[in-house]
Amino acid sequence: MSYDSSRVEEAVNMETSLFWKTVTSLLALALFLYPIYGGLFGGPPALFFRPTYLLLIMLLTAIVLPSRIFRENSVGEWILNGVIIAGVVACFWVAFTWRDFTLSFSLSPAEKVGAIVLIVGAMEMTRRTAVKPLNYIAIIAIFYALFGFMLPDSFGHAGVSVDRLLWSQVFSTDGLFGTPLAIGATYIGLFVFFAALLEASGGGEKFMNFTLAIAGRYRGGPAKVAILASALMGMMSGSAVTNIVTTGVITIPMMKRVGYKPEFAAGVESTASLGSQITPPILGATAFLMSEITGYPLIQVMALTLIPCLLFYFCIFMQVHLASIKFEIERLTPDEIPNLRRASLEVIPFIIPIFVLVVLLWQRYSPDYAVTLTIFSFILVCLITRDTRNRLFSNFMGAMRNGANTCIPLVGSLAMAGVIIGVLTMTGLGDRLSYLIEVVSGGNIHIMLIMTAVTCMLLGMGMVTIGAYVLVAVTVAPMLVDLGIELIVAHLFIFYFAVMSAISPPVMVGVFAASSIANSNPVKTAIHALRLSIVGFLVPFIFIYEPRILMIGGPSWLGIYLLASTAIAIVALAICFERYSLFRPISTWRASLFLVVAILLMLPSALLSTIGLVGFLVLLLMEYVARPSRATQLPNNQSVEYRDE
């Protein structure tokens, strides 16, 4: 009998792969069940629950994410994995000894080493993810805490000892194990698994079929499908990049096939997917943190984001619609459009748990309890339908692994955000930053708002939205509130600009993701994306100057009027950008007139909005009178000229 070493090696590799897959599945299941237990029965003490949750995440990171510095199985790789494992041991140590440090603020040399190892291990975990820029900010914050007393009075502080810094970061709930990590380990973690369950059970495919059945039959159907699919998928994923890679692989090729330039197709997909983070109820998981910080009920936070979300998608739709008419972009063929009745019936099981979630939150149940029952309701729905019932176990375990992988960067960013917030609180730097912004702006609220918006977008580059939001929320939001802006409105303003950073230059994470699918020029794609998403940059200023447009405190005549004028302004903006009125192509100077009336319509003033409305109607009447006959309509081949602009 011959000895085949290659087969033996292959068998060993398969066995090893199966072993690690089993380990990661068990860790993922633990990450799912641990907060479920807390949601149903109340969790253990904070300084036991949070360290033990973090150690599960760190263990998973060491297994599934390479160091990206050294080769696999090299000595360097094992050393960096050892750093994370040492952090895991330190988490275990904190979880079982934290009571010994409740009244003792001094640490022995060995305890200091343990605390440092824990922080470094958490940073190594975060470094392996897309949110590693938070590490740099956390390191700067720690150095500031230790050496900030050397700085001038305007920027310095009284001084922080090493013992006090390490104790507050590790043995209190004001540092690494602070509120951000707590929310990540409960509400947000559960929502991530809920979204993963929906996706693994075929929710993405069913939502896509539903949107194809609704929008595919109209002119420019693929682009409109991308808009509607991204909005629906946003209710599940809450992630722009996830939305792009999920829906974009289908919608971008369809858009290109019917005549859209790759840059325009990628711009539509990246912008529509960006809206997933402002689409209720999940809001990219930031809603939970916003609710915790502001004290507003989660259901109210979700309700207040509905109007800006609708305006955002309406802006994309109008530009796509006018472009489709102008260049006679074709609709999908009948064989590409699913049956509407069947698609509607198939999507219902995936809508039910979202409806259950909203009802539970409306009834004032706690978010973690509401999400737990929502997950159970979805599992019950899966047992009813034969297709999902037959694949329930495999779908469930796949969702556990995908959800756990998504939790790694999310929890890493929240842990580092806790470190940064702990330093801001301990040193008073947050108040100093607010004071600095106030000094630089000269107390001018308009300049302060612009500086806040720019800060959000800068921090959001290469960072998850929730990380950028929390950093600005704890530093700048109190200053905005002191200026008379309502608390929740100030936080919504910060949130929207943190979201918009995904398509803002120079990083443009969402744009690059869509460009890679479309094989398009990223710069041209970014230009299209910024134009399509212009309302995302304008609406936050509108509602911060006139909060009644959000219907805070209930509908009012002024709020309804301003909302209607903003919607009309979006139509005027679309006409300006596409240089196509509802009846004919227009010149640049005529387009500039529509831009002027759009600005007037968006100003939070009933008088100026009325002037803009009158101007808009006059311009439309002129365009209707000057409309060409059907014989002089643009031919199809002119779309090539537009797409090359």
| pLDDT tens figures, 301-336 | 888 888 998 999 999 999 988 888 887 777 777 777
User: Which one is predicted more confidently, 173 or 467?
Assistant: 173
Tell me whether residue 45 is in a domain: yes
Has residue 101 got a pLDDT over 60?
yes
Mean pLDDT on 364-372: 82
Residue type, 620: L
Q: How many CB atoms lie within 10 A of CB 547?
A: 19
User: pLDDT tier at 466 (50, 70, 90 boundaries)?
Assistant: confident
Of the segments 410-419, 471-480, 566-575, which one has the largest average pLDDT value? 566-575
pLDDT, position 561: 93
Q: How many CB atoms lie within 10 A of CB 229?
A: 28
Cβ neighbors of 417 (< 8 A, separation 6 or more) are 134, 180, 466, 467, 470, 471
Mean pLDDT on 198-225: 79
pLDDT, position 516: 81
pLDDT, position 507: 62
Residue type, 149: F
Tokens linked to 417 = 């955000």
In the DSSP assignment, the letter for residue 629 is P
Taking only the tens place, the pLDDT of each residue in 14-68 is 455 778 788 888 999 999 999 888 877 777 888 999 999 999 999 999 998 888 8
pLDDT, position 464: 67
Cβ neighbors of 405 (< 8 A, separation 6 or more) are 60, 64
Residue that is written with structure tokens 């219907």 in the block: 551
Tell me whether residue 619 is in a domain: yes
Tell me whether residue 273 is in a domain: no
Tell me whether residue 174 is in a domain: yes
Structural domain count, the chain: 2
Measured distance CA(255)–CA(106) in Å, rounded = 63
Q: Which of 463-477, 607-621, 627-641 has the lowest mean pLDDT?
A: 627-641
pLDDT, position 644: 33
Burial of 298 (0-12, 13-18, 19+ CB in 10 A): buried
What percentage of the chain reaches a pLDDT higher than 70? Answer: 91
Tell me whether residue 12 is in a domain: yes
Of the segments 216-230, 271-285, 484-498, which one has the largest average pLDDT value? 484-498
Instruction: Provide the CA 572 distance to its chain's centre, in angstroms.
Output: 28
User: Which one is predicted more confidently, 644 or 124?
Assistant: 124
Tell me whether residue 37 is in a domain: yes
Taking only the tens place, the pLDDT of each residue in 431-442 is 777 777 777 777
pLDDT, position 54: 94
Cβ neighbors of 460 (< 8 A, separation 6 or more) are 468, 497, 498, 499, 500, 501, 502, 504
Has residue 246 got a pLDDT over 80?
no
Average pLDDT, the chain: 83
User: pLDDT tier at 239 (50, 70, 90 boundaries)?
Assistant: low
User: pLDDT tier at 541 (50, 70, 90 boundaries)?
Assistant: very high
Tell me whether residue 500 is in a domain: no
User: pLDDT tier at 5 (50, 70, 90 boundaries)?
Assistant: very low
User: 69 near 80, Cβ under 8 Å?
Assistant: yes
Has residue 636 got a pLDDT over 60?
no
User: pLDDT tier at 120 (50, 70, 90 boundaries)?
Assistant: very high
Taking only the tens place, the pLDDT of each residue in 142-159 is 999 999 888 877 778 888
Range of the structural domain that residue 47 is part of: 7-152+159-184
CA nearest neighbour of 40 among 281, 374, 400: 374
Tell me whether residue 22 is in a domain: yes
Q: Is 580 helix (H, G, I), strand (E, B) or coil?
A: strand
User: 326 near 220, Cβ under 8 Å?
Assistant: no
